[in-house]
Amino acid sequence: MNLHSRKSRPSWSGQLAFILAAAASAIGLGNVWRFPYLAAQYGGGLFLLIYVLMVVTLGFTLMTTEVAIGRRTRLSGMEAFSGVHRGWKPLGWLVTLIPVIIVPYYCVIGGWILKYIFAYLFNRHLALEKTVETVSATGEPVVETVTEIVHVSSPDFFSAFIAHPWQPAVFGSVFILFSMWLIFSGVRKGIERSNKIMMPLLFILAIVISVFALFQPGALAGLKFYLLPNLSEYVKDGSFDFVRLCKTCLGAMGQMFYSLSLAMGIMITYGSYMQKTDSIERSVRRIEILDTLVAFLAGLMIIPIAYALGNGPEVMQKSGPGLLFVALPQIFTKMTLFGLPFGRLLGAIFFILVFFAAATSSVSLLETVVASIRDRTGVSRRTASILTLVYTLLMALPSALGYGHGPLGGVIVHGMTFLDLCDYVTNNVMMPIAAFFTCLFVGWAVGSRFVEEEVEYDGHPFRAKVFYRVMIRWIAPVLMLILFVTFVASGLGYFSI
């Protein structure tokens, strides 16, 4: 085992540096790409409500726990559990495995963002092959394949792109190489610093787009769908659909872990670099608020647009991971300034800002994988990075090409493509299990004092101490168990959302 020396471990320069670094990891594609389509799929307002409740209860409990474990042990996610209590090594393995599975498909989505930047900047088109039915001169029905040229603002652009035989793999690979380059070159510090400008800009742009979207005819119905919980959707044949509610809760919980970078050892590692004198409780609250605000805004921007464009809830639910890429470009084409088409520029700027958010998150994911390999094997940083790079490039292929017609395309497992499957299994199965055992670890194996003492270190008050104690010991594990058991019992291997 090759642990970093605890004494020489580097640390953030202060509380603000920790908050910014953790927020840079947390705010990413999870907020802008994943949150809006899940909110659309799981019925809008109710999902939003459950999500916010999850963040302030479970999210707060788990983030506090992870940061405190990291700061107290000065160890990374892989080693921290066994470093405190022998026998808990498997939990370290589990939390380390999660980013390993996420990283390749995360970079594939990063590649989608890159493609959109490229398409907006250079006004690119794609060829889309469509089958059309016509009638021959003799009156016979004929099925023909026609090639249509689609522009980035067309709703068909996304499907043409992800089905392309090589482009998603190339753009995904460029994203991976770019992220690895950031890790190596030291430019990363610059990127993180520039995020202080980029993130507020993303914020402002999202507000501008949301306001514009809300003035489109039909958008208010979307706003209502997004903000107001509608329980009637959960009534089936006159009785309440409890299983569906559990699935929604599980989806919201998985999203909350993903978005806050929880249950994957990352906040433990980040906490291990935190200064002893900083307030854990205050930092955790700020990271949660920032992350949730960005997700909320992304939903506000995308869902009413999808509605205004005539994509009622049914279409929205079907568009799934493509929602961001299908809805936004259509609104950009409508945006004009003093009569000039302004949308192309806005589209490029928007996707560049999302790209920055995604890059800082993917860097933190990749670095976790590099650090785990080093901690385990003791190899040099260079070797670990090369191994990570090769693995990510190879494993990204089935996700990148899974929507196409090539040999890797069309593979469907439990109704999902490879990308959806990796996303679903990590978020809805592995993270809840990791979070459940983290609660047992603190609540029952080592005792909540372990975390409480760390939060109160240096005279900081722990305002939510009683709440935390009850959550970590009872409410969090019981809630997760109920959700998980209902989910499994609702049909083993039945993954429909």
Q: Which is nearer to ligand PFF, 260 or 327 (CB)?
A: 260
Q: Which residues from 262-321 bind ligand PFF, rule CB under 6 A? A: 264, 266
H/E stretch holding 112 reads helix 89-122
Is 413 in a helix, a strand, or coil? strand
Q: How far is the CB of 10 from ligand PFF (least distance, A)?
A: 18
CB of 268 to ligand PFF, least distance (A): 11
Closest to ligand PFF by CB, 270 or 462: 270
Q: Which is nearer to ligand PFF, 308 or 363 (CB)?
A: 363
Question: Please, which residue, 152 or 389, has the CB nearer to ligand PFF?
Answer: 389
- Which residue type occupies 383? T
Pick one of 20, 21, 29, 163: the residue that binds ligand PFF (CB under 6 A).
29
Residue carrying structure tokens 């302004």 = 342
Minimum Å gap between C-beta 28 and ligand PFF is 3
Is residue 176 involved in binding ligand PFF (CB under 6 A)?
no
Q: Of 30 and 251, which has the nearer Cβ to ligand PFF? A: 30
Q: Does 59 bind ligand PFF (CB under 6 A)?
A: no
Is residue 28 near ligand PFF by the rule CB under 6 A? yes
The reply to whether 31 sits near ligand PFF by the rule CB under 6 A is yes
* Min CB(161)–ligand PFF separation in Å: 21
- Cite the beta strand spans of 237-300 per DSSP E: 239-240
Cα-based distances in Å from 263 to 3, 116, 446: 21, 31, 18
HEC assignment per residue over 323-366: HHHHHHHHHHHHCEECCEECHHHHHHHHHHHHHHHHHHHHHHHH
Residue with smaller CB distance to ligand PFF, 40 or 357: 357
Query: With the C-alpha atoms ordered 401, 403, 405, 408, is the resulting torsion angle positive or negative?
Result: positive
Using the rule CB under 6 A, which residue among 30, 104, 271, 329 binds ligand PFF?
30
Handedness of CA 60, 66, 72, 74 (dihedral sign): negative
For position 172 contacting ligand PFF by CB under 6 A, the verdict is no
Extended strands (E) in 67-151: 125-135, 141-151
- List the one residue from 45, 99, 111, 329 that touches ligand PFF (CB under 6 A): 99
Among 23-31, 169-177, 197-205, 476-484, the segment contacting ligand PFF (CB under 6 A): 23-31
Q: Which residues contact 348 (CB under 8 A, 6 or more apart)?
A: 117, 120, 121
Q: Any contact of residue 154 with ligand PFF (CB under 6 A)? A: no
CB of 37 to ligand PFF, least distance (A): 13
Please say whether the dihedral angle defined by the alpha carbons of residues 496, 415, 44 and 236, taken in this order, is positive or negative.
Answer: negative
Q: Which of 364, 388, 392, 448 binds ligand PFF (CB under 6 A)?
A: 364
- If binding means CB under 6 A, how many residues of this protein chain bind ligand PFF? 16
Q: Which helix (H) or strand (E) holds 236?
A: strand 235-236
The CA radius of gyration of the chain, in Å to the nearest whole number, is 23
Tokens at residue 47, please?
A: 């999902």
Contact 367, 183 (CB under 8 A): yes
The residues with which 340 forms a beta bridge, in sequence order, are 337
* Stretch binding ligand PFF (CB under 6 A), from 24-32, 69-77, 138-146, 427-435: 24-32
Does 113 sit near ligand PFF (CB under 6 A)?
A: no
Binds ligand PFF by CB under 6 A, chosen from 76, 179, 261, 330: 261
Tokens of 453: 């003492």
User: Cβ distance 401 to 408 under 8 Å?
Assistant: yes
Q: Is 25 in the site for ligand PFF (CB under 6 A)?
A: yes
For residue 219, what are the contacts with CB-CB under 8 A and spacing of at least 6?
Answer: 213, 304, 305, 307, 308
Contact 486, 246 (CB under 8 A): yes
Q: Of 183, 316, 328, 365, which one interacts with ligand PFF (CB under 6 A)? A: 365
Footprint (CB under 6 A) of ligand PFF, residues 322-351 = none
Choose the binding region for ligand PFF from 20-28, 143-151, 372-380, 427-435 (rule: CB under 6 A): 20-28
Amino acid in position 448: S
Nearest distance in Å: CB 29, ligand PFF: 4
Q: How many whole angstroms separate alpha carbon 118 and alpha carbon 81?
A: 44
* Residue 361 engages ligand PFF in binding (rule: CB under 6 A): yes
Which part of the chain contacts ligand PFF (CB under 6 A), choosing from 107-115, 240-248, 261-269, 441-449?
261-269
* Chain residues that interact with ligand PFF, rule: CB under 6 A: 25-26, 28-31, 99, 258-259, 261, 264, 266, 361, 364-365, 368
